Structure 1
């Protein structure tokens, strides 16, 4: 991760490549730069990241606890089997059912792509797309409840110029394979897009998806240490009519001190989603990003108290998806 300065520019769209005819999106869709439910209601995600791939035994109780805190969504860490034990189709079906039972929108992400190719063990978006095709049976028909986050933080701080083409290709692979879900695409540079690769080519990537059912995800850590930086980045997408949410953020990080108050207030002001990192189980010196101690919902950390119960937090701003109430 590295810091950068924010400006504004959006590239013109290219001609669409020839490919299979893709049916119109169903379930959750993007309309006018907003994520919308099939009920017609605007959906602003207010969620928590949960590390299922590393703590599978904690998922059932954690999802129930996350819902009890008022979240309307959960972003679940999965594995393609390249770095950690593969999340099977059967296992994935169970996660989706747990989300539904807890009336949560389920954002599913493959974590094995994190920091490719800078991180030597990481895999490409192409490989993540192959995994999604292999577990398609677990999510097909769940388009009202599931967002497919193709790969976590694809591209570190090297090779990130390839992000645009790799993302377009991965989206095309999933659309060609019958995925009608809302697709969520993470930024490069360990998710923080300090190079503005995602920002500057977002229009190109968005227009390459024939369904238009695509949302961009920015992760906000040390690069986003000032309110002006947070506001500049997010408003650039909003003003361009491009859908964006904050897929990860915290109150502190090894690369700098993110402005969590600004992240939460600006997203509220703009009506954008956010998903905080993370429920529990952090290690390697970032244990302070746990929201609860040892997966115990009765033991909130300072970050958990701030995120869940503070100004512009989950308690104040989260609204349950209307697909669960029929509203």
Structure 2
């Protein structure tokens, strides 16, 4: 939702007599991409994996502020919606929704035969809103909860960040959005991605409109949808028709990700929004089910989350002309066949640990059960209440490597079935690694050299305290769950969840007796503190920490 009025004048488009005569101002170059595993974009349209055209008809639900109102998803479905856009938090401004909570939201969406559009709200108004998250931080959040999303590509669309710029420095939106898309693709996300406009979502300066083609082309999967939020900036039929028509003519996918019937910055033309989206076959998601405050309580569709108390806005969007009840069609993924399975497997049995060394441990757990068959298990590490993915396996055991000596780790397991449903988390197991051989053969000095909101730069010095040269090495340590390396010099990093492993560069591989080499790196972080790692291994052996 857009909370304030833009400071600059908005440009007003001219309504064409026939939308088909609009000249596209955007050029579309569609890169080659792999076969999709779920939703995909083709020729400017959002398609399901089956090839069915999918048009969103739904509402927004403020889950992160009202986690006890998860039953609202069933009520939203009962009103006819086929989609729900769910508000989540990455931890910068509101309490972080962890992977377990996200998995539960997805499970509830599937149980209620809704498509889930999941969005990070902490990015709202970045540049003007104190404490707002960057799109890079939002991407890091999605990577951190990926264990809850993998395999859900035909049920979930990832809306990277809500209204990711206010009215300050909003021209940076284009580069930042491209970088966030590519960061998620590099992390293995195959989902359709959704990107919100700047200017508090309303794009009055047309930054998204005029750069949408290049942003779309920057997605190696060609699977990005654009979202415009229509409040006071869109108070005439001409503005609404012109904006949406340009995307359609350019064959760029667009949805109205938020809109209302009124707002403090002006009176949006909701009748035209509903009519034009229906005419053009575009999706819309009204704001919002219930729980609004701060003077915009009139945007509640029901009173106090009670589905039997529709407000005037609720009656308009659900039951009015071109509204949800009249135009919504359920996603084909919930039709007949195996995709009809929305029942999650039972939780796996409590893991047990064996073969525990200074750097690894083998976990074994009881098999989960499911009517359609269990297809795999996700092992996660739990630290400070947050989950990070460790590995995925088809069997009921996995060996976890890259651990630090004399350190305690907590692990749990999820099960998946053939339809992509994910179980509840198993009970946890805590593993304490053995002390290793910290005999003075190596010494580590770790220091943070500079910090900034959302990131920092560090240096690691590796000293050979033994009597013979080291030729080739791998250094390992564990970060807090919210820290991820973004760049490194002096070595090649690999990171799985919190676990970091660094292979020597050619020019740092040899460390003579009593000699040392140094590594430098930059990293992102979401937490308010920046603790240093306490344990390191070199070639599997523990090092002392100076």
Same fold (TM over 0.5): yes
Structure 2 residue aligned with 1:206:
216
The superposition leaves residues 100-156 of structure 1 with CA deviations (integer Å, 9 ceiling, x where unpaired) of: 000000000000000001111211000000000000010110000000000000000
2:277 to 264, 267, 283: 267
Q: CA deviation at 1:11?
A: 5.5
Query: Per-residue deviation at 1:40?
Result: 1.3
Q: Secondary structure at the match of 2:158?
A: strand
Moved over 2 A (4+): 6-16, 21-25
Counterpart-to-counterpart distance in 2, 1:10 and 1:161? 18
The Cα shift of 1:297 comes to 0.3
Residue from 121, 140, 147 that aligns with 1:137: 147
Deviations 1:60-112 (Å, cap 9, x if unpaired)?
x1000000000000000000011111000010000000000000000000000
Match of 1:71 among 74, 81, 87: 81
Residue number in structure 2 paired with 1:5: 11
TM-score (norm 1): 0.95
SS at match of 2:58: strand
2:241 match: 231
Could you say which residue in structure 2 is the equivalent of 1:26? 37
Q: Is 2:50 the partner of 1:39?
A: yes
CA distance in 2 between counterparts of 1:162 and 1:11 reads 19
With the length of structure 2 as denominator, give the TM-score of the two structures: 0.58
Structure number with greater CO (CA < 8 Å, separation at least 6) is 1
Question: How far, CA to CA, are the matches of 1:34 and 1:6 in structure 2?
Answer: 26
Q: Secondary structure at the match of 1:253?
A: coil
Alignment correspondent of 1:219: 229
The residue aligned with 1:123 is: 133
The whole-number CA distance in structure 2 between the counterparts of 1:12 and 1:32 is 12
After TM superposition, give the deviation of residue 38 of structure 1 in Å: 1.0
Structure with the larger helix share? 1
Determine the C-alpha separation between the residues in 2 that align with 1:261 and 1:15: 33
| Higher relative strand content | 2
CA distance in 2, matches of 1:13, 1:293: 44
Report if aligned partners of 1:29, 1:38 keep a CA contact under 8 Å in 2.
Answer: yes
Q: Is the 8 A contact 1:9 1:199 kept in 2?
A: no
* Deviation by residue 1:161-185 (Cα, 9 ceiling, x = unmatched): 1000000000000000000000000
Secondary structure of residue in 1 paired with 2:217: helix
3-state SS of 2:96 partner: coil
| Aligned mates of 2:29, 2:282 — CA distance in 1 | 27
Report the Cα distance in structure 1 between the residues aligned to 2:36 and 2:212, rounded to whole angstroms: 20
8 A Cα contact 1:164 1:197, kept in partner: yes
| Unpaired stretches in structure 2, ≥5 consecutive residues | 14-22, 338-546
User: Root-mean-square deviation (CA), in Å?
Assistant: 1.7
Are the counterparts in 1 of residues 29 and 213 from structure 2 also a CA contact under 8 Å? Answer: no
Corresponding position of 1:322:
332
1:285 aligns with 2:291: no
1:11/1:241 CA distance change after superposition, 3 Å = closer
Match of 1:242? 252
Distance in 1 (CA, whole Å) between partners of 2:302 and 2:95 is: 25
